[in-house]
Amino acid sequence: MVCTIEYINNWLKANLTQERYEHSLGTAECAEYLAKKYGINPQKAYFAGLIHDCAKCLPNNEMQNIIENFVTLECGESENPKTHHAPAGVYIAKTQFGVEDEEILSAIRWHTIGKIDMTMLEKIVFLADKIEERTRPKECTELKHLLNEENGLDKAILVCYKNTIKSLVDRELTICTQTIDIYNSLLKK
């Protein structure tokens, strides 16, 4: 059985930093807004947004254990520990909160690196994570207006990929092939 929102809120408060908890609420609210705008279930979007970063502040040894024993990493993820909280988040969602809904689990799984042809819920959680107003007001102002254009959701996600790729290039970090593939597929839309 899925835990109540109250239990999850308390769990997040206890296991995330204050800023990360605030970001989780922001992502939930933004995902709910986007879900209403694009005609999908707003409660589900709120819930997925709320728990998307549940594994973000796990102690190193706990994260290590989950990554080594319970999840499969994709291309580029093994070299980038910052992305590990996405697959680990799926594990926490299942084991701590009793989430079985594959759409929600998949939205958590792909909120960091994304993937080609994301579902509406995956796109919404991916974008809400980047543009929620509580802790990302600058990105929100920069990107929210795109949503009023045709294919606005894909356009806003494309800008996220452009920013990610630019920042990786600036810092001379490797770009995984999946990121390039997603960027190319969004450009073609």
Residues that bind Fe ion (CB under 5 A): 53, 129
Cβ distance to Fe ion smaller for residue 44 or 85: 85
Spatial CA neighbour of 114 closest among 99, 100, 125, 101: 125
**Distance from C-alpha of 7 to C-alpha of 13, rounded to nearest angstrom:** 10
Cβ neighbours of residue 8 closer than 8 Å, sequence gap 6 or more: 50, 51, 97
Q: Taking the complex as a whole, how short is the minimal distance between the CB of residue 81 and Fe ion, in angstroms?
A: 12
Angle at 25 between CA 150 and CA 89, to 5 degrees: 90
Q: Taking the complex as a whole, how short is the minimal distance between the CB of residue 1 and Fe ion, in angstroms?
A: 26
Cβ distance to Fe ion smaller for residue 53 or 77: 53
Q: Taking the complex as a whole, how short is the minimal distance between the CB of residue 56 and Fe ion, in angstroms?
A: 6
Cβ distance to Fe ion smaller for residue 129 or 154: 129
Cβ distance to Fe ion smaller for residue 77 or 129: 129
**Distance from C-alpha of 92 to C-alpha of 3, rounded to nearest angstrom:** 12
Is 98 in a helix, a strand, or coil?
A: coil
Q: Taking the complex as a whole, how short is the minimal distance between the CB of residue 127 and Fe ion, in angstroms?
A: 11
Q: Is 177 exposed, middle or buried (0-12, 13-18, 19+ CB in 10 A)?
A: exposed
Is 151 in a helix, a strand, or coil?
A: coil
Q: Taking the complex as a whole, how short is the minimal distance between the CB of residue 130 and Fe ion, in angstroms?
A: 8
**Distance from C-alpha of 133 to C-alpha of 113, rounded to nearest angstrom:** 21
Cβ distance to Fe ion smaller for residue 1 or 182: 182
